[in-house]
Structure 1
Amino acid sequence: MKKVVLYAVSCLLITSLVAQETPEPPKKEKKKKEPINLAGRANDHFMLQLGYTGWSGKPDTISTSGWSKAFNVYFMFDFPFKTNPKLSMAFGPGISSDHIKFSKTYVGIKETTPTLQFRNVADTNHFNKVKLNTTYLEAPIEFRYTANPENSDKSFKWAIGVKVGTMIDAHTRNKDLKDKNGNTINNYKLKESSKRYFNSTRLSGMARIGIGHFSLFGSYQITSLFKEGVAAEIRPWSIGLTLSGL
């Protein structure tokens, strides 16, 4: 019996000594994520857009032609998300304008008729160049993604959003009066201004995708261009190139 007790005590002592001498493996320290430094990055504050614009819902009786331009300028304030700096919200003021060109068409924005006249004047005296310009003061709001927010000048990026605008000008510009055979009658310009037939407020959806300072943009007007009942339900759209920076 004494031998058994002695053997048991010896085993306990040996086990205790081994446990004390065997060091515990060192705990791995968790690597702390270094904060992303956004100081001095280009936040796409300034955006300049140039593109082509068209009319969705335009009836066949309205004859447009040539390169109709869209020209927009915005100054945006960008606010990155604290939880994910790759994402941000941006908003700010801007000016947008559409320049729609017509072929042998009279656009009667100064008429007093109940409906807006788009009259084919190919068989009579007409202006060689006719253009309808609309200009809006706008407030765009964008949800943005930047793959590399520390170096957005060379990073892939995209944005989606909406813009609300109020019309500040609508006018036609007519140039060079000609007869039905194309002979010049008089070289002069006629400008006529009126917002009577137009919706003064517009809402548009927009999107951009690109790399660095350059991106492709697209926009579509959700509200109708003209007031109800005065013309067809036309919704302008545009696509083009955006130059951004600052």
Structure 2
Amino acid sequence: MKYLVGVLLALIVFNASAQEEGGLKRPDIPGELMVDVGFNVWTSMPGGLERRTWSSKSIGIYYTKRKAFSSKLSFNYGIGLGLEKMSLGDSSTLASAVLDDNGTTSTDDDFVQSVLIVANPESFSKNKLATTYLDIPVEFRFHPLGTEDGEGLFIGAGGIVGLRLNAHTKWKYDNNGETVREKTSGKFNLNSFRYGYQIRAGFRGVHFFYKRYVSDVFKDPFPSGESPVMTTVGINVTGF
């Protein structure tokens, strides 16, 4: 989320510097800022994990450019950040280390790299897994009514690839009357790369998107056999 705040603040400052007497002049840059805002879901919830639907969010911030082949067909490509927050239930979460019977962390590499679902005796009031990716989205767009600069009605289809930059879990729970907050960074057995396809439809300035990542969320399946993939859906605003 801190990346999103930084980008939006920079955008406000940049736009403010472009103000001239008599109105606001759009900065003359060879591209556009595209912001995706939506929800994410896994195809399955491994082990004892649960999902809180309305607080599981997906945000994408991309700098994009357009190459026109004709008035009806173009190729759009970009680079930016994909921010995924999976809000988990109130009883189990993820860890990157395994605890033995004495409550100490194992130093066995095989264990440290594994995913463990841990249950706290007190329920979590906040429990999330947050990941940040460096994404490269590409797509072909078809404008049935024609276009000059990409404006107007369109449908688009393409792909997206991403490199995981970091990941962390954040917990908040009560323990013997005290509120405990913990934030832990780790690999959590997450795949380093993700890839999939995307579909978009609407107008350039505002449209809907659907992204399906065909790569598994986790590098290795859970002991229970689940190996989920992620889907995100939402709305896009373009043209800053």
The alignment partner of 1:125 has SS state of: coil
The alignment partner of 2:95 has SS state of: coil
CA contact (8 A) 1:217 1:242 kept: yes
The alignment partner of 2:129 has SS state of: strand
Deviating more after overlay: 218-227 vs 112-121: 112-121
Letter in 2 for 1:80: A
- How far is the alpha carbon of 1:103 from its aligned partner? 1.6
Deviations 1:154-196 (A, max 9, x none): x111211111110001111112x226xxxx7223421001015
Deviations 1:180-235 (A, max 9, x none): xxxx7223421001015111011021111012411011101110010124562110
Letter in 1 for 2:191: N
The equivalent of 1:58 in structure 2 is: 45
CA distance in 2, matches of 1:56, 1:101: 15
Letter in 2 for 1:234: P
Which of the numbers 208, 219, 238 marks the counterpart of 2:200?
A: 208
CA distance in 2, matches of 1:108, 1:51: 23
The alignment partner of 2:218 has SS state of: coil
CA distance in 1, matches of 2:67, 2:196: 22
Number of residue pairs the alignment of both structures matches: 197
Letter in 2 for 1:135: T
Q: How does 1:21-170 map to 2 (within 5 A)?
A: 45-59=32-46, 61-67=48-54, 68-81=56-69, 84-112=70-98, 113=111, 115-121=114-120, 124-146=121-143, 147-150=145-148, 152-153=150-151, 155-170=152-167
The equivalent of 1:12 in structure 2 is: none
The alignment partner of 2:217 has SS state of: coil
Q: Aligned in 2, Cα 1:98/1:236: closer, same or farther, shift over 3 Å? A: same
The alignment partner of 2:227 has SS state of: coil
Letter in 1 for 2:178: N
Q: Aligned in 2, Cα 1:65/1:160: closer, same or farther, shift over 3 Å? A: same
CA distance in 2, matches of 1:118, 1:86: 50
The equivalent of 1:223 in structure 2 is: 215
Cα RMSD (Å) of the superposition?
Answer: 2.6
The alignment partner of 2:148 has SS state of: helix
* Greater Cα radius of gyration, structure 1 or 2: 1
Deviating more after overlay: 143-152 vs 206-215: 143-152
CA distance in 1, matches of 2:188, 2:122: 26
The alignment partner of 1:64 has SS state of: coil
Following superposition, which runs of at least 4 residues in structure 1 exceed 6 angstroms of deviation? none
Q: How does 1:180-195 map to 2 (within 5 A)?
A: 185-195=177-187
TM-score, structure 2 normalization:
0.74
| Runs of 5+ unmatched residues, structure 1 | 1-39
Letter in 1 for 2:154: K
The sequence identity of aligned pairs, in percent, is 24
Q: Aligned in 2, Cα 1:77/1:211: closer, same or farther, shift over 3 Å? A: closer
CA distance in 2, matches of 1:120, 1:144: 47
